[in-house]
Amino acid sequence: MSSPNQPPEIQRLTSFRPVPRTGVIYVTTEATRLGFRPGDPTWCNLGQGQPETGDLDGAPPRVTQIPIHPEDLDYAPVAGLWELREAVATMYNELFRKGKRSQYTAENVAISGGGRVGLMRACAAVSPVHVGHFLPDYTAYTELLDVFRRFSPTPVFLDLERGYSFSAEELRREVLGRGLGAILMSNPCNPTGKLVAGEEMAGWVQTARDLDCALIVDEFYSHYIWKGDDDIVSAASHVEDVEVDPVVIVDGLTKNWRYPGWRLSWTIAPTRVIAAVTSAG
């Protein structure tokens, strides 16, 4: 107990709030507290959804060395190296936009340091609108959306009894009825595994186009397709005009290319959106 002559104890660092650990961060922190260490053969890390990062039969050889030139140590452009942006655009055109008039260019791509950073930059560029997000969906979205007071996060509840399905017509009613200006979703969904693809995804993109509601799609699991004819699914297949349709795609090397430690992601969107994402830092 302090004496009467001593000043009262000052509470320190009150400008910072306690940020709750959710999802992957919570599981990994608790596992580490109980003795987990990367590479420990007595543990199997299922908490992070980490892909196999080593060699696989029939897969391309893994990258083990990257030459670094002196100029590579300089500041890179905020939107990422032009050559990398160009390579991402070319990949999407070859995979999803063959024969289509409208093609992505490097100016439709921004590079970020990981998936969460890419999503945060996209959210930082959103106007003061209602942003719909589904429940259940990726647990980090709740905290992510709470950071930005500029827009209003609006939960949209999915029904387990219906297999978490949500039609394009239901999306249209939700956008019109609740005045949504944007939708954030993971596809395939983490954690339910629900996939929106084919004509269903075409309907979602059409709804976004008709109502000018931004569709922000986290496609980090887009190669993990177990049913149907498609090996990879992306909303990019259904975009009519890459400069007009309000479709924003975030993906990266983490899951689909099995390089989670690289922390490299990209955002694909109309150039006006990419300019805003770049200005967001």
Domain ranges of the chain: 19-50, 78-279
Closest CA to 242 of 132, 106, 120, 131: 106
Pick the CATH number of 78-279 from 2.160.10.10, 3.30.830.10, 3.40.50.300, 3.40.640.10: 3.40.640.10
Give 245's Cβ-side CA count (13 Å radius): 25
State the pLDDT at residue 147: 85
The predicted model scores a pTM of: 0.90
DSSP state of 47: S
> Are the beta carbons of 184 and 215 closer than 8 angstroms?
no
State the pLDDT at residue 137: 93
Which tokens go with 19? 């940020």
Tokens 């924003």 correspond to: 248
**Residues of the chain whose pLDDT is less than 70?**
1-4, 7
State the pLDDT at residue 4: 63
| Bridge partners, 184 (sequence order) | 133, 216
Give 106's Cβ-side CA count (13 Å radius): 10
Closest CA to 255 of 27, 91, 50, 113: 50
Tell me the pLDDT tens digit for each residue of 6-35: 767 777 888 888 888 877 888 899 999 999
State the pLDDT at residue 139: 83
